[in-house]
Structure formats: structure tokens, C-alpha cells
A and B are shown apart, each in its own frame.
Chain A
Amino acid sequence: MRSSEKKQVEESKKAASNGAVVSDINGVPSVPDSAREDISNATSESEDEDWHNSSSDNDGDSSSISDNTDESSDEDDEDTKAINEAMLDYMGALEERRQREALGSEEEEPRSARTEVESDSSEDEVPSRNTIGNVPLHWYKDEQHIGYDLAGKKIKKKEKQDQIDSFLAHTDGSKSWRKIYDEYNDEEVELTKEEVDMIRRIRAGRIPHAEVNAYEVPYVDWFDWDGKGHPLSNAPEPKRRFIPSKWEAKKVVKLVRAIRNGWIKLDKPKEKPKFYLLWGDDLKATEKTANGLTYIPPPKPKLPGHEESYNPPVEYIPTQEEINSYALMYEEDRPKFIPQGFQSLRQVPAYSEFIKERFERCLDLYLCPRSRKKRIDIDPESLIPKLPKPKDLQPFPNICYLEYHGHTGPVVSIAVDPSGMWLASGSMDQTVRLWEVQTARCCRVWSLDGPVRHIAWNPRKDLGILAISLQSKVLLLDLELGTSDPDEVSKLLALNPSVMDNDGDGALVTWMKHENLKALEVKHSQEVLSITWHHKGDYFTSVAPDANTRAVLVHQLSKQQTQNPFRKLQGRVVTAMFHPSRPFLFVATKMHVRVYNLVKQQLSKKLMTGLHEITSMAIHSKGDNLIVGSKEGKICWFDMDLSTQPYKTIKNHHEDIQAVAFHTAYPLFASCADDSTVHVFHGMVYNDLLQNPLIVPLKILHGHSKTGGRGILDCCFHSNQPWLFSAGADSVIKLFCD
């Protein structure tokens, strides 16, 4: 049985080599079945033991083989199996080896070499030396021989190599991979290159022999494929193929109706002209948009200047240094466009930012909020208030006329006597000097036992008394001027005996006689910073800010009595002043000015200055207007009839205002500050209540130099001339005349 099968295989092989149609191994019907069977058996990897199953895939003529196998005995069956197995194993081993070689692994499983099938082709048929035929080899397993040769002699088994040797032989020999052990003949066979190639081709599912051309005869496809869903269907055509479709008919009716009714238009609609006359002839611009909002047109881009020219004037092109300096600028300060000059038009390159700029413009157009902004076109000069010319408001102190030299320390305070003949000045050098105004001659010098803080001249012309604050004392000094009445003065300055009685611990102040000067001394508990006289010359106030409730005291010279008008004071008092004609007392604290009615003993007004820190205050001779100077360099003018808010606030100095002063006769007032300037203003107060005061800045007087961080410490007007005295920290007093 085995031989018959072999024959069959051989035949098929021959047929293949002779140019029979052998194309694809799997599923091509035109291949002779026997041949295909064989090849598929020999090559397929997936099917190992039971090739019957796999063979059952084939249809048609494979029955002959299956018949064969059915008929064949168990042995035969086993035999063929073995051959096939051997072949497959060999193939698998080959593959494995190749892989292993690729991987470079050393280990190898012991290989069970089996008999190799003799080459099937008749050409390379070599008679095998064993003649036992197609019998199971395990029959000879335990024998000393493997079979018999042609002469009938036993063929002895070869000495078996041990496994290590065979392994070494495998690994060492470069050709060992193509050596196969032929169990049937008990010998090693080396496959030739052609044989290996053939095996490889079989495995790849190609025709074993490379020289065979399978496509010599053109393939004739007798089946008409066109329009056939599946090539092989013998099913009869269904009935529905032959009768008209009801639904299609319905659909057609629908369409026809739609066309008839004009629901479906078969013709392409006529193309309307793309552009037409959209606007009429009215040439009026509209301001409103369709939604009722005012139309805000996009702002037009700025038109180019000379600098954008391709050939700008030389002066528009920045130098290289300037361009380099742009790199140091902040990004936003850097000029966006750097002018360039080209000698001729042909050298102008494409502007690289063009598209970017257009894109940014697009973004601006749809992303930027638009709003109408009223453009204020103001001439800056129109902002400056129109004031009368200073020339028309003369006389006012204009130039430095005299300088009074003599003090060695900063002149803190100055006072002019009511007649205007004399000027008294108190300084940090512990002296008080008396000057003749006209000649700048220093008439007398009083050396005192401490720095002078403030001096104030008694307003009575016939007295000639000067009040001096010396730390915690107030001296009432008789100046012994020729004009004064010496009897009255000495009477006033004589210590009142009743005062002596009063002297006690609970007293506000102590009145006493000065030891060596012709003066009366009023001793306070704290340092006195300011003294002001009542216009009648009998009363005076002293301000000692640190004395808490006793900060403001009112003294009466004639009776040598002292009162404390306030039980409680709000804030630190800076200065206190009498109203020039009515019984009012102005008390300036740090931020406010309080006006007290002395008769009713109550607060009548509180002026809100809005300043940070008041330094000085002056009252107009009529008493209804008041100016306040502050540390931030501002002057506030209060019109007390108007309101408690300042009528005008003027910021004129850069530094602390030290003093402000009103002229008693002329409509002038002045402020002096640490920036060593005196600002002179025209401050006209009208009798008409409806007319607001007129304030005109007139002059900024310079001349003093700054010493020790301080400029001008005091200023005061001459009592009847439009002259101004200023006392500087540079120990000079200056007289400014018109």
C-alpha cells in the first residue's frame, strides 16, 4: 500500500515538474488534488499528527487518498505518519535552529533524529543500502543491525555518539545544520544547497523547483464575473427579481408628484447677478446702526510720516548707537518702527511685518472695545487762571533793600513795633536785638539765659514792652524807648503784691521780677512756644503745647493775673490768637482751628483745614479772614462768613511753612518756608459781603540761604509800609521794599 501511495506522489511530482498548473497551495481549485495534497501535507506547520483532519478540508477528488488511508493497515498508517513527522520535525528543527542562531543561544534540546524520506524525484533516486522496505523501524530497535543490504547481509548499526559529542559536532561544524540523520540507512546525510532551497520554497508555499514556471499557460477564466455577487451560486433567482417593486413605484409616484407640483426643481436655478445696485443716490451718512445704537466707526490708522519713507531725510534715520540703545529700553518704550533709508527704490525689500500688522488690525477691529471719547482740546495756557497783573497791584515788597547783620544764630522770631520805627528780633544765640528799621543799626542787645522762642511786641505805642518766650518763662521786657511813657511802664512791670499772696502750688504760673533786667517774668510749667497780644495791649496769651490742659493761658498785664480758659483741650495746640476787634479766641491745633467766644465761654466755630499739620496762623485785621500755614507747604484762606471749609487752598511751598503774616494796612499777606522763599500775595477783602476775597500771588522773594536744613523762620510786615521783614536760619534779617 505504501509503495502505491509513494508512486502516486512521485507521479504528481513529475506532473508538477513538467509544468502542471500548481499555483497557490491553499484553496486554489485548479491544482491537481493529489499533488496539492502532498505538498500541503509536507509543508503545513499547523497540522502535525492528524493530517486526516486537515485533508478533509479539501473537497472533491481527495476521496482517493482518504480511501487509501481507510484501506491501509495500522502499520502503514503509522509509517506514513512517521515519515511525515520526520519531515515536519526536520523543518521545525531547521526553523528553530535558525532562530536560535539568530538569538545566539547556546542551549539545544536533544534532537530525536528520525529517518528521512528519500528524495521523491526519480532523477536523484539513489538506491538505499537497506532493503528492509517500508517496515516500522522500531522493529529493529533492539537489534544489532538496522537491516540487510542487497546481498542480504546484515547492516550493522553504527557506533552511537553520545549526546555531548553530537551536540558539539552540531555547534562546531558550520554545515552541521544541514546534516540529517537517516535512521533507515543509519547514516548522516548532508543536504545540498538545492535541497535546502527546495525545502525553503515548500515551506513558503511556493513551487519546490525554482526552474518551474507555473504561469506558462495563461489562465483562462471561464466564469463571467461581471455583476455576479458571488462566483459560485447555483441558487435560483428569487421571484422578486422578476416582478416590479411596489415601493419603488410608490417612490416614483411621489417624485413625479413633487416635480409636477414644483417641489423639486430639476433645472439649476438661474444664477442671480452677484452684485447689483445696493445703494440709492442719497449721499447722507447715517449715524445709527440697524440695531439702534450709534455707529462708532473704527479709528483710522495713523497715516505715515516722513520717517516711514523709503528714502527719508537724513535726520530721521537713527544712528547705529541709537539703534543699539533701543535694545536697552523697556519693551513698551522701544520704538516699533525704525526708519531706514534706501538709495533707490529697487533696493527696498518686502516688509516682513506687513501681514502681521494687517492681522493685528483685524484683531483690533473685532476684539477691541470701541467707545466714543470726547477729545478735550484745551490750550494748556487757558488752564492757568487769569489774574490781575502784579504790576497793577503795587505796592508790594519786591526787592531786598536792607540786611540786618548781627545775630550769630538762627533768628527765630521778629516783631515790628507799632510805630514802625523799631524791629526786635529773637534768636537761638540767646539774644534779643533791637534794630532801627531805617538804618539797619542794632541799638541794643539783651543777652538772656536761654534760646528765644518767640517775641511779640505790645500793640500799645506808648508802652514799648516786648514779650519774649524763653523756654518755660515769658519775659515782659521794658525796651526803654524814647517814645514810651516810662512811669506807666514801670508801674505795669512792678510786681503786684497781691500776686505774691496768690503764689502757691496750685497756681497756673508764677509772676515774678527778673533779677537783672527791667522786666517781669511769668514762669510756666512747660516750654512756651508762642505769645500773642490782645489788640488793646493788656491781655496776652501764651501757648505751651506740652502743658496738657494748661496749654493755653490768658494773662492780664495790668492785674498780673492768669486764667486758664479751657478745662479741656482737643489736640496739641500750636498757637492761639485774639480776634482783632471782638471777644474771640482762635486756637490752632494740629488739624483744626477752633474759635471760642470768650464772653459766652463756648466754642463758636471749628474750621476744618484739611491740612496735615498746622504750623502757623495769621488773622486779617478785620477779623473775618484767617490764613493758616502747614507743614506740607499749603496755605489755607478761611473766610469765616463763608464756611468752615477753606475758601482757597494754595500749594506754593515745597517745604514746611514756618510763618504766615497779614499786613495790617495793605491788602497783603505772605508766607515763609524752609525752602528759603517768601511768597507775597495780594489778599483783598471787600466790605461787600457778596464779593469774595481776591487772592493774587504777587512775588516770590529769594535771598536767604538754607542753613541746617531750615530756611526762613519768621516773617512780618512793617506796621504801616508795604515792607516785609524775613528772618532766616542763616542769622540774617532782610527787609524787602517795594
Chain B
Amino acid sequence: MAKERKKLKKKEGNAAKYTTRNKALNRLQIKLPEFRRLCILKGIHPREPKKKFEGSHKTYYHVKDINFLAHEPLLETGRALKVYKKKIKKAQAKKNWSLVTRLEANKPSYSLDHLVKERYPSFIDALRDLDDPLTMLHLFATFPAEASYKIPAETVNNCRRLSLEWQAYVARTHCLRKTFISVKGIYYQADVAGQKITWLTPHVLSQVVPNDIDIRVMLTFVEFYETLVGFVNFKLYHSLGLKYPPILDSKLEAEAAELYAVMRDLGKEAHEASEKEKDSNDFNSLSDTDTNHAQEPVNTESRLAESRARLASLQDRLSKMAKPEGNEKLLGVTDDDENMEEDENEDDDTRQCKALFKDLKFFLGREVPRESLLLLIRAFGGVASWAGDNAPFEESDEDITHQIVDRPTQGHIFLSREYVQPQWVYDCVNNRLLLPTIDYLLGRVPPPHLSPFVDNEKEGYVPEYAETLKRLQTAKEGKVLPLPGEEGSKDTEQFLESVVANRTESMEELRKTQKQAILEKTYQEELTKEIAGIPFSGSIQTMDRDEVDGEHVVEKEAYSHPETMDEEPPSAIAKAMMPRKARKLYAAMQIGKQKKQAEIDLLKERKRKSERKQNKKVAPEIEFQHTFESRCKASG
């Protein structure tokens, strides 16, 4: 008789540590969509066991992760909600509308707060993973609130609000570091608490939701991201001593025009109040809400006014961010607000960023991306206005230093200001210096826009314009006027630096100069021959001979150092001694290297071709000039 064998559960090894997805579903007693939702919210992802004990085609989760899910209160909430939905459906089917309304009203709600804390135990953790949330929220903020896409309008509004709050924080603390206009959208990189946060906003054009995506997945992500970014914003605002949420968005949207009138009043009030605040709280920093509590003895009225004022000032700022048609007087208020910030906390970078556009006044044309430019200009210490009803200042303002336009021609041109294309602002920001506007002027094709995220030296190819920018930067740092030819001789250190950095480049240049020297030499020879009266065909023959001789010389030279010629690179021989593993690894590395080199070569090739094309275009003009001159000579 066969002995009954009990199947023992594994206690160690991969089979004990990991479980497949289907097993997890069975364990949790939920369907796949709910599981997916839970995984997204809890941040649980599949893992890769060393040994895939049930085949490589399966998805494996860590058993601990699944146990963790099993204890999640959301699991139960989800079930309860499901049952509740059934109730509503039943009532609807029975046309018991009163019950339906009652049920809808008392629908149980749930929050994801605990998940945020659980997934990101410290604030830094949250900041570290903020890239995806911000990009997502900025994307959803641009979505059409159309029913056919099944994106709730509430979500879109909330996303918009959260992204504006974030932008307001970034602008206020001047922590924006890099920005880049790509074909995909506009990238921003901010430095918050030492964490580099990069996010991407789409171009301000309407989005079309493709059919082949599952919007439910994205909405689940957005649901969590909304909570996360809300808490992050709260913390950030709290650290600045500001109230959160800053404005009631719904009010603002509902009674747009009236609210502005109210805000104008509030703005004045806020201005006065903030003045008062400054006087009274010189000794006490305003960074904490606790300070408010500490000031209990101060009469409640003034406190109320204070908070109102602060709220109002923020509202202004946000409204300015949100609705560019803000109000001119608010600008002054916000500036004052900014002055109140503690300066000790700022590092060099922030100070530099803050001062970049200081004392500059911008005016934005209708056709430029206003939100993006406002964020940039505010974050780098500038002042901006735009073409609109309630803009802070008019286009005719005499103090405007730069007008940002993106159109072929401009009707009325003020001589007191410069008309530049938007790219100028982005390039200035990336290079931390005010670039000469000559290349970016109205109607010109601006110089190439380079990514600030690329380490050119590491990539092995430095675009031409990057070098120009670098020269400008070094010139600014050294306070020396940029002279492309001579900068090396003036500052040997700089020269050395640049040489080390661009060794390949310099090699090329060297080769170029050599070539030029040779050309010059031949030219000289030809001249002397001409003078001597040697006919051209003869000269060709002699030249041929010369060339042959030259080749001989080369050969002789080659033979005169047979050892050096014959010498193989020592590594080539040593490769024979490499163990197989190392040899294969080396070969694989070589492949990667070659690929990279091929890319660089391709870039250089293209560059050369384009240059040749340009030269060709230029050449006929010169020829024409020559012929013209000769004709003139002949006639005159």
C-alpha cells in the first residue's frame, strides 16, 4: 500500500519566500482588478526570486508583501464598498429613488493617509519618489474634464490645484534649478531638501486620451498621488509658516470676477497687515504655526487679521499662478512677503538663482507659454506681466526690460526693451547667467536648445553651442571679456582646464592647423614656381614625383622603426591570457563602447556634412563677388 504522503509546506528557500500572483489572489480572496488597485495604492510590486520555482512565465510576489496586503484595512473597506454599491444598484433597479439618494449621501468614505505614512515613513522618502507623482498630476491637470474619458472633473481640478501649489512653493523658495523644453514637454528640476526632483509638464495644448490605455490604472495612481502630494505640500507650506490649503479653489472658480474684487480689498489689507506683522514679529520668526499659539496674549483681532492677511497674500500668489489675470497691487505684496523669508537657510545656489533675474521686468506676449515662464521668472527673482485685463503692469510700462515674444514680427517696438524669444529665459536659467540676447532676438532662429541634464564630457561629444556657453560662463566667472582665441593665454589655468576637458577637440584643431599649414606651404611652392615660370603640367609632374618621394619617405620611416611598427599593443597579447569569463566580459564591454563611439561618430559626421552644406551655400556668393570685381576691373 502506498504510504500517504503529506505535502509539507516549505519553510525556507524561494518557495517559502515567494508566491505567485494567482496564489496571492486566492489567499486574499479578491479579484484581479481589486488586487491591482491595492498593489498600486500600497506600492507593492512583483519581485524576482533567484529560482522561479513555478516557471519563468509567472509573476512572483514576496509572501511578506501579500501578508501585508492581507492585513490592510482597505481590503475590508473595498469589500464593504462593493456591498454598498450593490445596495445602491438594487435600489435603483427598484426605482426606490429616496433610498438611492439616502444611500448615496451616506456612502462610506476612505482615506489613504495611512498609506502615505506607511510607504514613506520620513519626509525625505516622499520627496525622493516625487518625480512620478508630479508628472502625473501635471498631466492630469491638463486633461479635458470630459465624461467620455471617464476622468472625474473633480480629479482634474484637484490635480490642477495641487500642481499650482507645488509650483507656488518652488517659485517662492527659489529652488528651481534646471529646466528644459523638449518635444515631449517642459522638464523642470528642483532641489528640495537636498533631493533633486524632476518633473515633466506637457505643452499647453489639449490632450487626446488614446484608446489603448487603461485609464482606471492611471486614475488609481492619481488617487494616491493626490494624497501624497497634498501631504507633501502641507509639510512644505508648514515649513514656510503658511496656511494650507492656501485658497478655496471652488470659490475662486465659481465667482471668478467678484472674488478678484474681494481680493483687491484683501490685498490692501494684507499689505497693511503684513507691515504690522513685520513690526510686531521682528523678534519672532513666523516659520511655525506654533508661533501663533505663542502669541496668545496679543489680542485675537490682530491675530485674525494676520492670518487673514497671510491667507490673502498666498491667495494672491496662487491666483496669480492659477489665473494669470491677477491684480497688479498684489505683486507688491508678494514681494514684501518674500523679503520676510529667512536668509540664513539659503545656500549659494539658491542665492544665485534668486538673483538671476533681479531688477528685470518681463512682459510676456500672448503666444508664449505663460504658466511656465511665470514660474521661471518668479523662481529666479524676476517680475513679469502679460497681455491681459488684470495684468500687474501694462505693455507700455517704461521699466520693462525684456519682452518675451514668439512671433515673426512685432508691430510696435519699444526701444527701451529687448524683444527675445522664450528660449532665452530657459537658456539663461540653465546657465545661470544672462546670455547676450543677440541670438534670441525677434524673428531669428535661436541657437540650439541644449539639455542641462547631459554631462557632455562623459558622453564624449560636446555640441558647439555648449562650448560657447561654457566660454561665456568662464568669462563671467573670471570677469574677463570672452575672446574665443585668446582666453587661454590670459588665464593659463582656464586654458589647461579647457584643454583637459576638450582634448579630442584640441586634437582635431591641431590637425586642422597642420592641414592649413600644409596647404599654405603648397600654395607658397606654387607661387614660387609661378614666379620661376614653370608650366603647370610640369609642375604637376614634379608634384607627382614629390608625392611619390614623400610616400617613399614615409615607407622608409616606417621601415626604419620596424620594431615600433611591428610592436603589437601589449594588451592584444595579454588578452590571450585572460580567463574565459573575463574575456567575454571584456568583449561585451567593447561592444558597448563601440556603440557609443559609433553614435559619436555619427554625430560628428552629420555635423561635418551640415557644415559643408553651409559652406557651399556661402561659397557661390563669394564667387559672385569675385566675378563682379573682375568685371569691374575689366570695365574700369
Identify the A interface with B (CB < 8 A): 274-280, 282-286, 289-293, 295-298, 300-301, 303-306, 308-319, 339-340, 343-346, 348-359, 361-363, 365-371, 378, 380-381, 383-385, 387, 389-390, 398-399, 648, 650-652, 679, 695-700
Contact, CB under 8 Å: A650 / B369: no
B62 sits at the interface (CB 8 A) = yes
A298 touching B463 in the complex, CB below 8 Å, given contacts A306-B450, A378-B585: no
B523 sits at the interface (CB 8 A) = no
Contact, CB under 8 Å: A313 / B450: yes
B173 sits at the interface (CB 8 A) = no
Residues of A within 8 A of B131 (CB): 300-301
How many Å from the CB of B247 to the closest CB on chain A? Answer: 14
Contact, CB under 8 Å: A286 / B234: no
Residues of A within 8 A of B180 (CB): 304, 308-309
Q: How far is the CA of A166 from the CA of B125 in the complex (A)?
A: 103
- Residue with the greatest number of chain A CB neighbours at <10 A, chosen from B208, B450, B563: B450
- Residue with the greatest number of chain A CB neighbours at <10 A, chosen from B122, B448, B463: B448
A384 touching B574 in the complex, CB below 8 Å, given contacts A278-B113, A358-B135: yes
Q: How far is the CA of A353 from the CA of B571 in the complex (A)?
A: 47
Residues of A within 8 A of B207 (CB): 350, 354-355
Contact, CB under 8 Å: B218 / A359: yes
Q: Can you name the residue of chain A whose Cβ is closest to the Cβ of B445?
A: A343
Q: How far is the CA of A349 from the CA of B463 in the complex (A)?
A: 25
Contact, CB under 8 Å: B129 / A283: no
Residues of B within 8 A of A652 (CB): 576
Q: How far is the CA of A284 from the CA of B194 in the complex (A)?
A: 11
Other than A301-B131, A354-B139, A371-B47, give 17 A-B pairs with Cβ distance below 8 A.
A279-B117, A282-B122, A305-B459, A306-B450, A309-B181, A315-B603, A345-B181, A346-B367, A349-B205, A355-B213, A359-B213, A361-B132, A362-B221, A383-B589, A384-B578, A385-B574, A698-B573
Contact, CB under 8 Å: A358 / B139: yes
Q: How far is the CA of A378 from the CA of B584 in the complex (A)?
A: 13
B562 sits at the interface (CB 8 A) = yes
How many Å from the CB of B342 to the closest CB on chain A? Answer: 16
Contact, CB under 8 Å: A350 / B213: no
Mask: chain B, 557-575; 1 = CB below 8 Å from A; 0 = not: 0000011001010110111
Contact, CB under 8 Å: A315 / B606: yes
Contact, CB under 8 Å: B121 / A277: no
From B40, B238, B576, A366 is in contact (CB under 8 Å) with B40
Contact, CB under 8 Å: B64 / A292: yes
- Residue with the greatest number of chain A CB neighbours at <10 A, chosen from B39, B182, B235, B593: B182
Contact, CB under 8 Å: B47 / A354: no
A290 touching B47 in the complex, CB below 8 Å, given contacts A274-B230, A298-B129: no
B19 sits at the interface (CB 8 A) = no
Mask: chain B, 439-453; 1 = CB below 8 Å from A; 0 = not: 000000110111101
Residues of B within 8 A of A648 (CB): 577
B119 sits at the interface (CB 8 A) = yes
Q: How far is the CA of A298 from the CA of B610 in the complex (A)?
A: 41
Mask: chain B, 451-469; 1 = CB below 8 Å from A; 0 = not: 1011000010001110000
A390 touching B234 in the complex, CB below 8 Å, given contacts A303-B198, A315-B606, A348-B183: no
Contact, CB under 8 Å: A390 / B122: no
Contact, CB under 8 Å: B129 / A278: no
Could you pull out 26 A-B pairs where Cβ atoms are within 8 angstroms?
Answer: A274-B230, A277-B235, A283-B124, A285-B124, A285-B128, A286-B121, A303-B187, A303-B453, A305-B459, A308-B183, A313-B464, A314-B607, A315-B603, A315-B604, A318-B606, A343-B445, A345-B181, A345-B368, A346-B406, A350-B202, A351-B183, A355-B210, A369-B48, A380-B590, A384-B571, A384-B574
Q: How far is the CA of A298 from the CA of B230 in the complex (A)?
A: 21
Contact, CB under 8 Å: B451 / A358: no
B422 sits at the interface (CB 8 A) = yes
Mask: chain B, 533-563; 1 = CB below 8 Å from A; 0 = not: 0000000000000000000000000000011
Residues of B within 8 A of A297 (CB): 128-129
Residues of A within 8 A of B233 (CB): 275
Q: How far is the CA of A290 from the CA of B450 in the complex (A)?
A: 42
Q: Can you name the residue of chain B whose Cβ is closest to the Cβ of A341?
A: B448
Mask: chain B, 98-123; 1 = CB below 8 Å from A; 0 = not: 00000000000000010011111111
- Residue with the greatest number of chain B CB neighbours at <10 A, chosen from A306, A363, A650: A306
B217 sits at the interface (CB 8 A) = yes
How many Å from the CB of A10 to the closest CB on chain B? Answer: 51
Residues of B within 8 A of A399 (CB): 562-563, 566
Q: How far is the CA of A384 from the CA of B577 in the complex (A)?
A: 8
B45 sits at the interface (CB 8 A) = yes
B85 sits at the interface (CB 8 A) = no
How many Å from the CB of B386 to the closest CB on chain A? Answer: 16
Residues of A within 8 A of B593 (CB): 380
B334 sits at the interface (CB 8 A) = no
From B125, B202, B218, B421, A345 is in contact (CB under 8 Å) with B421
B68 sits at the interface (CB 8 A) = yes
Residues of A within 8 A of B185 (CB): 351, 354
Contact, CB under 8 Å: A286 / B125: yes
From B62, B446, B586, B606, A380 is in contact (CB under 8 Å) with B586
Q: How far is the CA of A291 from the CA of B208 in the complex (A)?
A: 40
Residues of A within 8 A of B590 (CB): 380
Contact, CB under 8 Å: B125 / A285: yes
Contact, CB under 8 Å: B122 / A283: yes
A358 touching B218 in the complex, CB below 8 Å, given contacts A279-B122, A303-B198, A389-B570: yes
How many Å from the CB of A370 to the closest CB on chain B? Answer: 5
Q: Can you name the residue of chain A whose Cβ is closest to the Cβ of B193?
A: A283
Residues of B within 8 A of A316 (CB): 603, 606
Contact, CB under 8 Å: A306 / B135: no
Q: Which parts of B320-377 form the interface with A (CB within 8 Å)? A: 367-369
Contact, CB under 8 Å: A290 / B68: yes
A354 touching B571 in the complex, CB below 8 Å, given contacts A275-B230, A311-B449, A383-B586: no
Residues of B within 8 A of A314 (CB): 448, 606-607, 610
Q: Can you name the residue of chain B whose Cβ is closest to the Cβ of A288?
A: B121
Q: How far is the CA of A339 from the CA of B451 in the complex (A)?
A: 13
Contact, CB under 8 Å: B423 / A345: yes
Q: Can you name the residue of chain A whose Cβ is closest to the Cβ of B465?
A: A313
B155 sits at the interface (CB 8 A) = no
Contact, CB under 8 Å: B449 / A309: yes
Q: Can you name the residue of chain A whose Cβ is closest to the Cβ of B116?
A: A278
How many Å from the CB of B245 to the closest CB on chain A? Answer: 7
Residues of A within 8 A of B407 (CB): 346
Contact, CB under 8 Å: A383 / B573: no
B240 sits at the interface (CB 8 A) = no
Residues of B within 8 A of A363 (CB): 217
Contact, CB under 8 Å: A352 / B208: yes
How many Å from the CB of B188 to the closest CB on chain A? Answer: 12
B146 sits at the interface (CB 8 A) = no
Q: How far is the CA of A35 from the CA of B36 in the complex (A)?
A: 74
Residues of A within 8 A of B67 (CB): 291
Contact, CB under 8 Å: A319 / B183: no
Contact, CB under 8 Å: A312 / B221: no
B402 sits at the interface (CB 8 A) = no
Mask: chain B, 171-187; 1 = CB below 8 Å from A; 0 = not: 00000000011111101
B494 sits at the interface (CB 8 A) = no
Contact, CB under 8 Å: B234 / A275: yes
Contact, CB under 8 Å: B573 / A306: no
Q: Can you name the residue of chain A whose Cβ is closest to the Cβ of B219?
A: A362
A309 touching B206 in the complex, CB below 8 Å, given contacts A293-B62, A369-B47: no
- Residue with the greatest number of chain B CB neighbours at <10 A, chosen from A319, A345, A363, A385: A345
Residues of B within 8 A of A279 (CB): 117, 120, 122-123, 126, 231, 235
Q: How far is the CA of A290 from the CA of B68 in the complex (A)?
A: 9
Residues of B within 8 A of A285 (CB): 122, 124-125, 128
Residues of A within 8 A of B598 (CB): none
Q: How far is the CA of A700 from the CA of B423 in the complex (A)?
A: 59
Contact, CB under 8 Å: B463 / A315: yes
Contact, CB under 8 Å: B183 / A383: no
Q: How far is the CA of A356 from the CA of B207 in the complex (A)?
A: 11
How many Å from the CB of B115 to the closest CB on chain A? Answer: 10
